[in-house]
Amino acid sequence: MIRPILRYGAEALHCPAVGVGALNDTVQTLIDDMIDTMYAAAGVGLAAPQVGVGLRLFVADPSSGRDGSQLRVVINPELVEADGAQREEEGCLSLPGFTGHVPRSARVVATGLDREGSSVRIEGEGLLARVLQHEMDHLDGGLFVDRLSGIRRDLIIRRVRKLQRTGKW
């Protein structure tokens, strides 16, 4: 089932998520729904808070569905290594129509659990590193706009607030 994606300003996007306990049917359904939602929105990642669920869980596929082997489900993730630097344009399904050049680590290692509860270790460079960091930000209650410098960040937030006031957000 495709779930609605919350937009910037929704409280759930600005609160840290809590750890996932049991990998029960409810969590498995959430994972399936998140995958469907991410692909339907042509995204490369989606965190549970973006669909209004405050759990530490995200799905990611830097190929946008073109290569199913790149799909990752990560539960209770942690970034355990980060090095290098990249600054690329980034967008977000919760901030449609807005992008910014966000500084990120060029290489990261994330650990967590897969949907079966087995330990996973994901080493990512380039786009995958960016996606992992972006989704971790969501789990910590942040969005890419929070990492932008003053003027660019303020411009995006002002434009979003104007859209909210006019009922177009």
User: Any idea where the domains of the chain sit in the sequence?
Assistant: 11-165
Mean pLDDT of the chain: 97
Mind listing the pLDDT tens digit for each residue in 100-139? 999 999 999 999 999 999 999 999 999 999 999 999 999 9
Instruction: Compute CA distances 28 → 22, 31, 32, 34, 94, whole Å.
Output: 10, 5, 6, 10, 23
Enter the CATH code of domain 11-165: 3.90.45.10
Q: Is the pLDDT of residue 149 over 90?
A: no
Query: In the prediction, which pLDDT does 49 show?
Result: 98
Query: In the prediction, which pLDDT does 44 show?
Result: 98
| Residue 73 one-letter amino acid | V
Query: In the prediction, which pLDDT does 117 show?
Result: 98
Q: Answer yes or no: are the C-beta atoms of 15 and 99 closer than 8 Å.
A: no
Q: Which of 11, 81, 88, 135 does the annotation list as catalytic? A: 135
Torsion angle of C-alpha atoms 71, 17, 94, 35, degrees rounded to 10: 30
- φ and ψ at residue 100, rounded to 5 degrees: -165, 155
Query: In the prediction, which pLDDT does 150 show?
Result: 87
Look up the pTM and report it: 0.96
**Count of C-beta atoms within a 10 Å radius of residue 135:** 25
Can you list the alpha helix ranges (DSSP code H) found in the chain?
Answer: 25-40, 126-139, 150-165
Q: How many CA atoms lie within 13 A of 16 on its CB side?
A: 4
State yes or no: is 78 an active-site residue. no
Cβ-count burial of 21 within 10 angstroms (0-12 exposed, 13-18 middle, 19+ buried)? exposed
